[in-house]
C-alpha cells in the first residue's frame, strides 16, 4: 500500500502524482457542480476538489469530523493554500460517519464559551488553535528538560501519595490509603530536596494537587509543576541564574520546535535578559507606594512592578527577592544579614507571579528551630529531616506552573484555556 502523505508535505509532491491523505473532514462546501473538502491531519490542512459524482456522494454522507482516506492527484493551484490541492479524489471512510460536532471546529475560533468547550473537551481540543496552544505547552516541557539535562540535572519521579501534607495542612486532598489517611502531594518539595543529597541536581515534571476551595482563573486542583532543586549554591541568586537559563531554554524550544504554532497564535515570545533584574522586597514596596510593613505583594503591585521593570530594564521578567520570612514556608533560608527577610524570591512575568523559589535551609539544627517556630512536630518530618541529619549541601530551587506559564505566554486570562482536561471545584469530568 502507498505511504501516507501529510497535508504539510503536499506542496513538496510533484504535480500529477498520486497521493494518499488520511485525516478528518474539517470542512465541506457542497456547491452545485463541485464540492470542496478541507482535510485536517496532525500537520495541518489540505484542500481536496471533488467533482466526480461518486466521490461527491460519499462526501455528502460524511459529516464534519468523519475520518477518511483520500487518494487523489496533486494539482498546482495558486489560489489554494500553499499553492497546491488534490483533485480526482477517491474518498474512503475509515470509520463510521461522525455525528455533528457540538462545536463548530471549522471556524477560525471555535464556537462556544469556555464552559461549553471544557464540557466538550474531547472534540474542542481538536480545533487548530487548541492544538497550537498545547504544542506550546509540550515544547515548553521539552525545553525545560533539555536545558536541565544539558546542565547535569537528573530527572526524578516522586510519590504523589504522601503521609503528611507537604506545604501546609490546608488545601490538601485526603484519601484512604489501605486503611490509613493519605494525602495527595501538593508539591515534590521534600522529595526533590532529599534527592539533592543523592544526585545534587534534580528536576521533575509532574502533577501536583491543591484542594483549592475558590473558583479563580489562576488556580486548578491539579496542575503540572516543573520542579528544580540543586546543591552547592552560594545563595538564591544562583537559583535565579539557573531559572534564567531554564526560561531561555524553554523559549528557544518553543521558537525552534513550535514555530508554526507561534505564528498561528501570534505569540510574542519574550526575550530573557542575560541576568534577570532583581529588586528587594523592601524596595519593591517603596516603588509601588505600599506600606513598608506589608507582608506580601498584591496583584496591582505585581502589575506595577512588571511595568517598572519593563521601563527600567526593558525586561518582561523581574525577580523580587527577600520576601518576608513570616510569609514563607519553614524550609526557607533567611537573608544572612537580616533574618526578617529571606533568601527567596518570586519571579514576575507580565504582571503576574510565575515562579517561587529560593535557598532552603540545609543545617539540621536550623530545621529544629524552624519547625518549632512553625509549631510543627519533628516526628511528622522524620524521613525528610534524616537527609539533613546526614549531610546536605547549601541548596535551592524553584517551581514553574506549566499552565500558568503558557497562559501568560498566550496572554490568556484563565489557565483552563491552556489545560487539556482541567480539574477544579466544579469539574471532575471529562
Residues in binding site for L-aspartate: 167, 210, 356, 360
Instruction: Identify which of 162, 240, 233 has the alpha carbon closest to the alpha carbon of residue 400.
Output: 240
Q: Which of 80, 30, 81, 32 is nearest to 58 (CA)?
A: 30
194 binds a second copy (CB under 8 A): yes
Touching a second copy, residues 63-92 (CB under 8 A): 65-67
CB of 288: closest distance to a second copy in angstroms?
35
352-360: strand order across its sheet: 154-155, 201-209, 222-231, 395-401, 352-360, 344-349, 317-321, 278-280
Binding to a second copy (CB under 8 A) within 99-158 occurs at 99, 101-102, 120-123, 125-126, 130-131, 134-135, 137-138, 141-142, 145, 149, 152, 154-158
186 counts as binding a second copy under rule CB under 8 A = no
Would strands 180-184 and 84-93 be described as parallel, antiparallel, or unpaired?
Answer: unpaired
CB of 265 to a second copy, least distance (A): 16
- Binding site feature residues for ATP: 210-212, 218-220, 353, 401-404
- In sign, the C-alpha dihedral spanning 382, 385, 386, 387 is positive
Site for a second copy in 400-429 (CB under 8 A): 402, 420-421, 423, 425-426, 428-429
Alpha-helical regions (H) of 224-326: 236-257, 259-264, 281-288, 299-313
Query: Does 41 participate in binding a second copy (rule CB under 8 A)?
Result: yes
Residue with cell 493554500: 81
Candidate ranges 71-79, 340-348, 351-359, 361-369; the one touching a second copy (CB under 8 A): 361-369
Report the DSSP pairing between strands 35-41 and 44-50.
antiparallel
| Sign of the alpha-carbon torsion through 192, 195, 200, 201 | negative
**What length does the chain have?**
430
Binding range to a second copy, per CB under 8 A, among 270-278, 310-318, 324-332, 379-387: 379-387
Q: Which of 161, 217, 260, 373 binds a second copy (CB under 8 A)?
A: 161
Which one of 39, 136, 162, 347 is in contact with a second copy (CB under 8 A)? 162
Quick note: the x/- pattern for a second copy over 306-345, rule CB under 8 A, is ----------------------------------------
For the chain, what is the total number of helices (H) and then of strands (E)? 12, 16
Total chain residues near a second copy (CB under 8 A): 94
Amino acid at each position: 500500500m502507498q505511504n501516507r502523505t501529510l497535508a504539510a508535505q503536499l506542496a513538496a509532491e510533484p504535480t500529477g502524482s498520486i497521493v494518499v491523505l488520511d485525516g478528518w473532514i474539517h470542512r465541506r462546501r457542497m456547491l452545485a457542480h463541485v464540492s470542496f473538502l478541507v482535510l485536517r491531519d496532525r500537520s495541518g490542512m489540505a484542500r481536496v476538489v471533488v467533482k466526480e459524482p461518486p466521490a461527491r456522494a460519499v462526501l455528502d454522507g460524511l459529516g464534519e469530523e468523519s475520518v477518511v482516506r483520500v487518494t487523489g492527484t496533486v494539482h498546482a493551484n495558486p489560489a489554494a493554500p500553499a499553492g497546491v490541492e488534490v483533485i480526482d479524489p477517491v474518498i474512503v471512510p475509515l470509520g463510521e460517519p461522525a455525528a455533528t460536532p457540538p462545536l463548530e471546529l471549522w471556524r477560525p475560533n471555535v464556537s462556544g464559551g469556555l464552559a461549553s468547550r471544557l464540557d466538550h473537551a474531547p472534540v474542542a481540543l481538536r480545533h487548530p488553535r487548541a492544538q497550537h496552544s498545547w504544542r506550546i505547552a509540550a515544547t515548553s516541557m521539552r525545553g525545560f528538560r533539555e536545558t536541565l539535562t544539558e546542565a547535569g540535572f537528573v530527572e526524578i519521579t516522586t510519590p504523589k501519595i504522601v503521609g503528611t501534607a507537604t506545604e501546609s495542612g490546608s488545601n490538601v486532598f485526603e484519601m484512604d490509603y489501605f486503611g490509613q489517611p493519605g494525602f495527595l502531594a501538593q508539591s515534590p518539595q521534600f522529595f526533590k530536596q532529599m534527592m539533592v543529597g543523592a544526585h545534587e541536581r534534580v528536576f521533575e515534571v509532574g502533577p501536583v494537587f491543591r484542594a483549592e476551595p475558590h473558583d479563580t482563573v489562576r488556580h486548578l486542583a491539579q496542575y503540572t509543576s516543573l520542579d528544580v532543586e540543586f546543591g552547592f549554591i552560594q545563595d538564591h541568586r544562583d537559583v535565579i541564574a539557573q531559572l534564567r537559563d531554564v526560561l531561555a531554554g524553554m523559549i528557544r524550544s518553543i521558537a525552534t520546535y513550535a514555530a508554526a504554532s507561534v505564528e498561528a497564535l501570534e505569540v510574542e515570545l519574550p526575550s530573557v535578559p542575560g541576568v534577570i533584574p532583581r529588586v528587594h522586597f523592601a524596595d519593591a514596596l517603596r516603588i509601588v507606594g505600599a506600606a513598608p510593613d506589608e507582608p506580601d505583594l498584591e496583584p496591582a503591585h505585581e502589575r506595577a512592578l512588571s511595568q517598572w521593570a519593563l521601563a527600567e530594564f526593558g525586561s518582561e521578567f523581574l525577580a523580587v527577592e527577600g520576601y518576608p520570612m513570616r510569609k514563607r514556608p519553614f524550609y526557607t533560608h533567611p537573608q544572612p544579614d537580616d533574618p526578617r527577610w529571606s533568601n527567596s524570591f518570586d519571579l514576575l512575568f507580565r504582571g503576574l507571579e510565575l515562579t517561587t523559589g529560593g535557598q532552603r535551609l540545609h543545617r539540621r539544627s536550623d530545621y529544629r528551630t524552624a519547625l518549632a517556630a512553625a509549631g510543627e512536630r519533628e516526628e511528622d518530618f522524620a524521613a525528610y529531616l534524616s537527609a539533613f541529619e546526614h549531610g546536605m549541601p547549601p541548596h535551592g530551587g524553584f517551581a514553574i506552573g506549566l499552565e500558568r506559564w503558557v497562559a501568560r505566554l498566550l496572554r490568556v486570562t484563565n489557565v483552563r484555556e491552556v489545560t487539556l482536561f482541567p480539574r477544579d471545584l466544579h469539574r471532575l469530568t471529562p
